[in-house]
Amino acid sequence: AKITFITSDNESITLEGSSGSVMALAVENGVKGIDGDCGGVCSCATCHVHVSPEDMKKTGTASEIEADMLELDDNADEFSRLCCQLEIGDHLDGVVLRVAK
Ligand code: FES
């Protein structure tokens, strides 16, 4: 699946991945602003992204534990996801994720 990240510098980076989490793909490729400090266990929020509104149907909304984590982040909104919780697959092809500040 092709996944596009928009960094806080407005740089657009499109990466191709076939498995693993979106966070791991971003970290492996050095996407600025995605740190993945907790290693993908939904407990740090350094992988916070805002999904494009029209892509929410592809990503779905945050799980309960993920939403609890996002609640602690002032920049979270209804399009927020922790991208370690997004498993790469064909369903995510073409999504655009804005890296949260
Ligand atoms: Fe820590 Fe996603 S990497 S919450």
Pocket test for ligand 1, best of 46, 68, 70, 71 (most atoms within 8 A of CB): 46
Parent domain of 24: 2-99
70 lines ligand 1 (CB under 6 A): no
Distance 67 CA to ligand 1 centre (A): 12
User: How many domains, in total, are found in the chain?
Assistant: 1
- What's the pLDDT tens digit per position in 88-98? 999 999 999 99
Question: Distance (Å, rounded) from C-alpha 74 to C-alpha 72?
Answer: 6
Helix and strand numbers, DSSP H then E, in the chain: 3, 5
Its pTM stands at 0.96
- What's the pLDDT tens digit per position in 42-93? 999 999 999 999 999 999 999 999 999 999 999 999 999 999 999 999 999 9
Q: Read off the CATH number of the domain in which 24 is found.
A: 3.10.20.30
For the residues of 46-67, what is the DSSP string, one character each? TTEEEE-GGGHHHH-PPPHHHH
